[in-house]
Amino acid sequence: MDLWLNDFLSRALLLDLKTGPNRALHKIGAVRGGTTFLRQGRFDERTALANLDRFAAGAELVLGHNLLGHDLHCLRA
């Protein structure tokens, strides 16, 4: 892999959320440094978000296909 790209991805958290109509979280997926974080099905949202926070610690960037239009609004709610 290109060294610049490898360095960039090592500093980034790749994040995607799936929610229902009431904004309840159904799935959280994230990748950081080649390690995957996944919660799906039935899970406690507060615990999962706390675990995601620890997983993301130290990331300098957050990347996702719909962060501004969707995911950040759900995380703030």
DSSP H helical ranges for the chain: 3-10, 45-56, 72-76
Q: Where are the domains of the chain?
A: 3-76
Both tokens of residue 61? 């960037």
Pairwise CA distance, residues 40 & 24, whole Å: 12
pLDDT of residue 22: 78
Q: 1 pLDDT exceeds 70?
A: no
Tell me the whole-structure pTM to 2 decimals. 0.83
User: Binning pLDDT at 50, 70 and 90, where does residue 77 land?
Assistant: low
Query: Is the separation of the CB atoms in 59 and 73 below 8 Å?
Result: no
Pairwise CA distance, residues 64 & 74, whole Å: 14
pLDDT tens per residue across span 6-61: 899 899 999 999 887 777 889 999 999 889 999 999 999 999 999 999 999 999 99
pLDDT of residue 43: 94
